[in-house]
A and B are shown apart, each in its own frame.
Chain A
């Protein structure tokens, strides 16, 4: 087969599907629907074994977090990665739906996540007499500030620190593995390319000749 034809093939099977599945403004649930829809359409799932296709479909059909938990996750994700001048927010990139999927995909995450959400609601109740999502923005930040800085956190806050570290990890990965994240980062690869070595201006910047 000719390389050009194969490349066309690749473009059709991967990039085409990709854009459909990544509605940037899609809500978390829409995002999940699109993913599920995609799986349903292509029964053999390109690049997946039948067992994997079956497992994914099963996980997609399940719901782990309650609506209240999802709302809390969404608020925390957007504190971790808010919209700013460079890019959109974590929830705009579909991060909450990704976390929902990961909780099902890696069940060992379920207790730390579910328990962490309870922990933060409990803090909110103690301090402000309401659940975390019902708190005002400054109230939420007051709690988050106590758990977002592992080296400064008080011993009594350690469990909250662990939870926030986990949320930070999942939010960062969930965001930077989307089209929006790629744009924010400026990643330019994953496409056919001619590699001629480090660009001249970059060599100069690092005092290198390319012939080291």
Chain B
């Protein structure tokens, strides 16, 4: 096959346009570098009418928003999902991992939950605190200035709480709690569980002329047409394009990083044009990977050469190992006091208005890491699934006139059921920190390729006892909170038979750790600047470098780290070191 070669040599080529890649493209293009951004998926702009699903009604979808073709429903802004046609992945028998990918400009930031938490000081040194796991090569103080700048550049609401290990940011005003959220706060206070304003990257105030202000449609997962929430597409890549320094190539599925056999330095990447299926190579002085944690590991492992037989930047053999995803478990509750509620528009922003940070001391518990709690509920817009399973609840609670009726049934009573139960359910989900294990990894499947001929990933992942015990603790907490609210926990309480409802690995979609950073080059692939020990002009700026993930969602840390590494690249180039 003939390989087409782009004649130009760029200063930097970036692979992937999600949180990490978008930030790098923004920082480097603004600094004046000539940047090429390669994105496997298509172009996407949440403000372009052709892509807008925001404010659509369920009846505008023939399946009323059901998730038949999109995992999170017809209106969700994800082009991708757990499975992508022609791009398989596998798992070692007896283990499993679920890998969510979005193939579009901005990656998964177009439809993410916008929960934007900083890691706390302790989250960088869990190894030395607990004796289990490893410390990061950097600490909170190294990242704090970048978190501050990300807050200002992108915008996040929240409240100053001075809560241990939950650093405050530079916040926009948070929205007031909804009714069920006030009830959760009150119940939390009674039983010693802190509940305070959530921290989401949604603009409750104007921050610049390019972006609008949130108008409370509760649909950030559909992408915001006025750019009032953070998506890498709208907030980073599109502004970076306006500098004239950024060349964006969509439909560019990168196969491998190219290296010079003499120097061992990266010279660029080669990609498959997904439309023409032609092979193209792009030359650059610096290569930045941001294809998401597992994909960046895959790229490096697939970049084998005589000089790098184990894959690029992998003399330590660590690439792919220590893969870890947040833990997750949930429970829902029915709150009788919320039956027959007064109607008003309580959609609010596209997520919870309050949350619970990790509030306990693990040294007094039988598991080593904490979790935070996310809350749901309210008079939400009906979609596919609304009113289903009525026979499970309508026989249990008396009607307004005091009568009870047998479960199930038909007729006008079902309409009354829909009305009286509307907005009377709440949900809570724990999201926790797992122990990163060497035995949880992704590797190249020796037998399989995707439709571009690129060898695919094979996963090996099992939860340890710590995560299972943590899930048990979550279930006890959820039950306590629901009962304290005067509510009735729904369904049977998950128990040991199903690991206390612990989500399967990957399902929480915070995978990290596959291209570790560290001080010791025998145990890590990258140094503290996310720069390859073995190849000094190669960087990784997604969540692959992270040593652990705290009990926080990772994206705000991806953004801060990518910003930090981007500035390091600029300095190093200026100092002629790369």
A-chain residues with CB within 8 Å of residue B69 when the two chains form the complex: 51-52, 55
Are B189 and A173 interface neighbours, CB within 8 A?
Answer: no
Report yes or no: B68 in contact with A106, Cβ–Cβ below 8 A.
yes
Question: Measured between alpha carbons, how far is A198 from B182 in the docked complex, in Å?
Answer: 9
Q: How many A-B residue pairs have CB under 8 A?
A: 238
Majority SS of interface residues in chain B?
loop
Q: What is the bound-complex CA distance between A163 and B381, given in angstroms?
A: 27
Interchain CB contact under 8 A, A47 and B75: yes
| Interface residue? A126 (CB, 8 A) | no
Whether B242 sits at the interface, judged by CB under 8 Å, is no
Residues in chain A near residue B390, CB distance under 8 A: 168-169, 172
Q: Among B289-297, B313-321, B344-352, which stretch is in contact with chain A?
A: B344-352
- Are A150 and B389 in contact, with the CB atoms below 8 A? no
B175 touches A195 (CB 8 A): yes
Q: Tell me the smallest distance from the CB of A44 to a CB of chain B, in Å.
A: 6
What does DSSP make chain A's interface, helix, strand, loop or mixed?
Answer: helix
Q: Is the CB of B388 within 8 A of A202?
A: no
* Residues 288 to 341 of chain B near chain A (Cβ within 8 Å): 337, 341
Chain B interface, number of residues (Cβ within 8 angstroms)? 77
* Interface contact B382-A187, CB-CB below 8 Å: yes
Check if A61 is an interface residue, CB within 8 A of chain B.
no
Would A18 and B60 count as touching, CB distance under 8 A? yes
A168-B418 contact given A98-B64, A190-B381, CB 8 Å threshold: no
A10 at the interface (CB under 8 A from B): yes
Note all chain A residues with C-beta closer than 8 A to B176: 195-198, 210
Whether, in the assembled complex, A133 has its beta carbon less than 8 Å from a beta carbon of chain B, the answer is no
**Closest approach, in angstroms, between the C-beta of B108 and any C-beta of chain A?**
16
Most buried by B among A18, A150, A173, A203: A173
B491 within 8 Å of A (CB atoms): no
Known interface pairs A17-B60, A192-B215; A177-B386 also in contact (CB < 8 Å): yes
Contact B52 A149 (CB under 8 A): no
CA A52 – CA B75 in complex, angstroms?
A: 12
A118 located at the interface, meaning its Cβ lies under 8 Å from any Cβ of chain B in the complex: no
- Check if B382 sits within 8 Å of A176, measured CB to CB: yes
A18 touches B57 (CB 8 A): yes
A192 contacts B217, C-beta separation under 8 Å: yes
Total count of chain A residues near the partner, CB < 8 A = 82
Chain A residues near B415 (CB-CB < 8 A) = 81, 84, 86-87, 184
For B204, give the chain A residue with the smallest CB separation.
A195
Is the beta-carbon distance between B348 and A195 smaller than 8 angstroms?
A: yes
Q: Is A174 an interface residue (CB 8 A)?
A: yes
Contact with A along B346-378 (1 / 0, CB 8 A): 111100000000000000000000000000000
Q: Which residues of B contact A181 (CB under 8 A)?
A: 382
With a CB–CB cut-off of 8 A, which chain B residues contact A55? 69
Least CB separation from B225: chain A residue: A6
List the 6 closest A-B pairs by CB distance, nearest first: A172-B387, A197-B176, A47-B53, A3-B212, A177-B58, A189-B347
What residues of chain A have their CB less than 8 Å away from a CB belonging to chain B?
1, 3, 6-7, 9-15, 17-18, 21-22, 35, 44, 46-47, 49, 51-52, 55-56, 59-60, 79-82, 84, 86-87, 98, 101-102, 105-106, 144, 148-152, 164-165, 168-169, 172-179, 181-182, 184-199, 201-203, 205-206, 208, 210, 212
A-B contact pairs, 14 of them (CB 8 A): A3-B212, A49-B79, A98-B62, A105-B62, A105-B66, A177-B384, A179-B57, A185-B422, A189-B380, A193-B217, A195-B348, A198-B179, A202-B179, A205-B342
Interface, chain B (partner A; CB < 8 A): 47, 49-60, 62-66, 68-70, 75, 79, 175-179, 182-183, 185-186, 189, 212-213, 215-218, 225-226, 337, 341-349, 379-391, 395, 406-412, 414-415, 418-419, 422
Known: A80-B411, A198-B182. 7 other contacts (CB 8 A): A7-B226, A15-B55, A188-B345, A189-B347, A190-B347, A198-B176, A198-B178
